[in-house]
């Protein structure tokens, strides 16, 4: 959360200090964990919707009148949210930004240039190259 607020303060102009991200920044972490959140929501609601007879034995009849509507909304809205998130947020941040356009090749090669590491993940750069980077200065 500190990285998020530091980044917002930098972009808004409140702080002149650039965020000091490690190996993964908060956007990449959110991108990673969103998959598991989505799998849980879609998986759980999908199982309930796929096996209505079994679910009707587990829950009382008074709860089923509104539960199917809630489960359907959870399932469909999470799917829509995942599609919109991937198309806009993920593709822009990881592939279509002006500094990596037309595509960031890290996902194909698994390699990051030293300049990209220094610019986007300065804490990781300092961890890997620490004193070596400052010896030339």
Alpha-helix residue ranges (DSSP H) falling in the chain: 2-12, 26-50, 52-58, 61-84, 91, 106-109, 114-120, 122-135
User: Which two three-digit tokens encode residue 64?
Assistant: 């089923």
Beta-carbon neighbour count of residue 82 at 10 Å?
A: 18
Which tens digit of pLDDT belongs to each residue from 16-61?
Answer: 877 787 778 878 888 888 889 999 999 999 999 999 888 888 887 7
pLDDT at 12: 83
Can you tell me the distance from the alpha carbon of 39 to that of 43, in angstroms, rounded to the nearest whole number? Answer: 5
Percentage of the chain lying above the pLDDT 70 cut: 95
Which tens digit of pLDDT belongs to each residue from 94-112?
Answer: 778 777 788 778 888 888 8
Q: What is the pTM (predicted TM-score) of this model?
A: 0.65
Is the sign of the CA dihedral 29, 30, 35, 41 positive or negative? Answer: positive
């Amino acid at each position: 959360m500190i990285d998020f607020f530091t980044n917002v303060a930098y972009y808004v102009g409140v702080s002149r200090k650039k965020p000091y991200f490690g190996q993964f920044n908060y956007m990449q972490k959110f991108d990673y964990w969103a998959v598991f959140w989505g799998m849980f929501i879609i998986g759980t609601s999908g199982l309930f919707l796929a096996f209505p007879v079994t679910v009707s034995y587990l829950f009382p009849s008074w709860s089923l009148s509104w539960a199917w509507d809630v489960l359907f909304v959870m399932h469909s809205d999470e799917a829509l949210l995942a599609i919109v998130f991937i198309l806009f947020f993920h593709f822009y941040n990881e592939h279509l930004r002006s500094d990596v356009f037309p595509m960031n090749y890290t996902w194909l090669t698994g390699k990051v240039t030293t300049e990209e590491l220094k610019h986007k993940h300065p804490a990781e750069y300092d961890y890997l190259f620490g004193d070596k980077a400052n010896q030339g200065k």
